[in-house]
Amino acid sequence: MTLVVKPDGNLNKTSNETISVATITSLMSSYSYMTSSAISLTFRKSKTDWTSIYVATCVCFIGSVQYSLYFASMWPYLQTIDPTATENFCGLIIAIYNLAQMFASPIIGTWSNKIQSSVPPLYVSLTLMIVGNFIYFFAPILPFPFTKKWVLLIARAISGFGSANVSLLKAYACAASTSGDRSKAIAYVTGGVSIGLSMGPAFQLLFTPLGASRISLGNHVKINTFTAPALVGNVMLVFAMILVKKYFIEKHIGVPRQRDMEKYDKLPPYDRVASSVCYFTRFCQMFVMTNLESIGTPLAMTMFAWNRATVVRNVAIAQALQAFCTLTTHVIYIKFDIGKKINSKQTLYFAAGGLIVFYMATYPWPFSGGQLVVFNNNDVYAANGTELAGCNTDYFSWCHDLSPINVWVFYGSFVLILGICYSTFNISLNTLFSKIIGPRPQAAQQGWLQVSGGAAKFVGPIIISSLYTDHGPRWPWNVELILMGFTLVMWLILRHRMVPLRIPESFATYQDPHDPDL
């Protein structure tokens, strides 16, 4: 059909039918809109599958409990089954868990991206954690050709490989949520991690009444304060498997489909500098928190002259109260949808500043006065088996030079400041990191973020335990203050690059236009 342009600006077919230029322009605009919006049509009709997000949160909680459940009881258990073990070796056992996690996280993430599913890696990781817990429980009787401290190290290494599922589930929360729900979905999953880490030692309160030798299963195997966590941990892991089997249905609505990516535009590469800052920040955050994980129990026994039973009970109570603060923080964040109202960088500044305040408030300042309760090896021999509490001057050279920290200031700050700031730090960092990477499969990148934290949790206990043994708590505190101060300054300098990925117009619905981080 032939169209003729008339002087009046209209198009005329040879049949003398007239079509206005405005009409054609309108039709072309409508077609352009439909083309650019086609990719987002499905996304607009989709909703976040909150059931799968809730399951991911529960599995993250259970997995994180497997790490922190042993903090209060591991050192006394280690001393019981192998008297040759030292504080440094206890730090190594804590570190090996994180080293295994560090190696497994990118492998799990790459595997998940390749098969485009999270379920098989989840089952493998949960099974590994169950095996590790059984080895931990039966450590006194397993016929390994080395001392029992090495058996515990092997057990925690296997469990550490299984713990790599945390990064997998964080990546899934990003892929399974709409742009408007993303910060809330990440808050749920990171909340599961944070609350699990806080609640783990608190569960120890349930096992304290068992004592050191309550239920015997043989000459050397007992269900007691030290071994019951492994059994309860396995019950929780089996429950996690049931949840995944029945209720975890994968829906990747927050990520463009591959055929859409090929048909329309491609997402631009994410800012490598910004992602590297997030990796380094994660390292510093976990290094700082590892301080209390690795030396918290020995520090309390030395600083406050608590025996083994007392330190297990008191640390568990403090962890329970901190977990309540962590839970309250996440509930407030989710209930009021803070992620839609406050910039993630601002919340991270607040959290980093809070961690600095904690270490300043609990620093053993020379002017604080007082003396530690001390004893030596001669006192140990004279006690004839009775447990002595305090600082052993034949083992620590700094006992007479250190002023004790006020127990109420220490644990008050531990509960309130860390309970609020650690969870806030987690939410803000993970939320902003997911936005920097953009709406693409993130299992591999989340795996490397987990590697950064795992690296800190591996080297942290070794460095902190050595510094504590040689110099007391002052130098560990100095290192933590320097690291967190450097992190805060780095974010302030690079704040203009720490923003979400700028994505093409055709993928606009994968980004909330009202996002406060933009």
Q: What is the DSSP letter of 339?
A: G
Q: What is the DSSP letter of 399?
A: G
Q: Whole-model pTM?
A: 0.78
In a domain, 443, yes or no: yes
> Can you state the angle between helices 344-361 and 407-437, rounded to 10 degrees?
160
In a domain, 41, yes or no: no
Domain total for the chain? 1
The pLDDT value recorded for residue 212 is 63
Distance, CA of 279 to CA of 293 (rounded, Å):
21
Distance, CA of 164 to CA of 121 (rounded, Å):
9
In a domain, 291, yes or no: yes
Of 251, 119, 248, 264, which Cα lies nearest the Cα of 178? Answer: 251
| CATH code, domain with 101 | 1.20.1250.20
307 burial via Cβ count (<10 Å: 0-12, 13-18, 19+)? middle
Residue span of the structural domain in which 439 resides: 3-28+48-364+405-510
Continuous segment of H or E residues that includes residue 269: none
The pLDDT value recorded for residue 413 is 95
- Please give the chain's pLDDT, 518 residues, in tens: 444 444 444 444 444 444 454 444 444 444 444 444 444 444 444 688 899 999 999 999 999 998 888 877 888 888 888 888 887 788 788 878 888 988 898 898 889 888 888 999 999 999 999 999 999 988 888 888 788 899 999 999 999 999 999 888 988 998 888 877 888 898 899 888 888 887 877 787 788 777 666 666 666 677 888 888 899 999 999 999 999 999 998 888 777 766 555 555 678 899 999 999 999 999 999 998 877 877 888 899 999 999 888 888 888 888 889 889 988 998 998 889 888 889 999 999 999 999 999 999 999 988 887 889 999 989 888 888 788 899 999 889 999 888 889 999 999 999 999 999 988 998 999 999 999 998 888 888 988 998 898 888 778 878 888 899 899 999 999 999 999 999 999 999 999 999 999 888 777 777 778 888 87
Q: What length does the chain have?
A: 518
Structure tokens given for 356: 């600095």
In a domain, 339, yes or no: yes
In a domain, 398, yes or no: no
The pLDDT value recorded for residue 260 is 56
Structure tokens given for 63: 């997995």
Distance, CA of 488 to CA of 469 (rounded, Å):
29
Kindly report the backbone phi and psi dihedral angles of residue 514, in degrees, each rounded to the nearest multiple of 5, phi listed first.
-100, 15
Distance, CA of 353 to CA of 371 (rounded, Å):
30
Find out whether 316 and 72 touch, Cβ atoms under 8 Å. Answer: yes
